[in-house]
Amino acid sequence: MAIGIFDSGVGGLTAWQALQPIMTEDIIYFGDTIHIPYGEKTPEQLFGYFRRIMDFFMQRKVSAVVVACNTMSAVVVPRIGPNPPLPLFNMIDAAVAQAVPVTKGRVGVLATRATTESGAYPRALQNAAPDLEVVSQACPKLVPFIEAGLLGGPMIREAVTEYVTPLLQARVDSIILGCTHYPFILPEIRRLVGPRVTILDPAEQIREDVAQFLQGRSPQCSPGNCRTEFWVSGDPWRFQNLAQDILGSSLPQVQRYSAVGDGW
């Protein structure tokens, strides 16, 4: 058995990294790179992608799936209902569990346009803590920049300043990184935010949630020795080279999967 992880591209690798120390099952990672960025897609498109990715994971007989994408977590997971095809871990629930205990009452969220427009973060946070003030900021430039390999420099700094400044002006005390790509530019965000604002990466809570799930299962491998298969819907070579550049380490050979033709 294995745990599935998926995202539109390399962003889910931040969740993959967070899970490495606790994994006792192998991982199958799927990057839906032919459809990146998810943040600019319609709910109907996203739901179709989700169904095909679940079909892929069911073919691979995974035991659970980490939806390592805030856009999918915000737009699609609430539509699935109480009986998903596989057990799911999603970023919105993880972020709420992480943020509510630490915030002093005013939370900022950096996210994609689709996540922001869904209203999922304010809804989930205020359901958990009705008095919370939530300030959401769409960041449409960041995922394309990161997928192009830009993790620093003038263009990233300008975009981070554009998106983070409204949150600081709103006097938030905590900022949720509401996209799994954003931890890759955490130094740029921290440089602008300073030390007084707490920055939250929901992947850290996902690690705790998956660890609890694995406790009730027979170990298939030991932490640090579990394998990962990497699959993408687009160009395997491009994903592998970008991921290796970002992570600073090599990956196993990335394989390509297409559900129904190249365009799905």
Would you name the residues annotated as active-site residues?
Answer: 69, 179
Residues 196, 171: contact at Cβ < 8 Å?
no
- The edge-to-edge listing of strands for the beta sheet with 174-178 is 133-138, 106-111, 174-178, 198-200
The residue assigned the tokens 């539509």 is: 79
The residue assigned the tokens 């994609």 is: 112
Peptide bond into 37 cis (omega under 30): yes
The type of residue at 197 is V
Alpha carbon distance 27, 89 (integer Å): 14
Alpha carbon distance 141, 231 (integer Å): 25
Nearest to 257 by CA among 97, 15, 29: 29
Nearest to 137 by CA among 105, 97, 170: 170
Which runs of consecutive H residues, i.e. helices, occur in the chain?
Answer: 13-19, 43-59, 70-75, 77-80, 91-99, 113-118, 120-128, 142-147, 154-169, 186-193, 203-215, 236-247
The type of residue at 259 is A
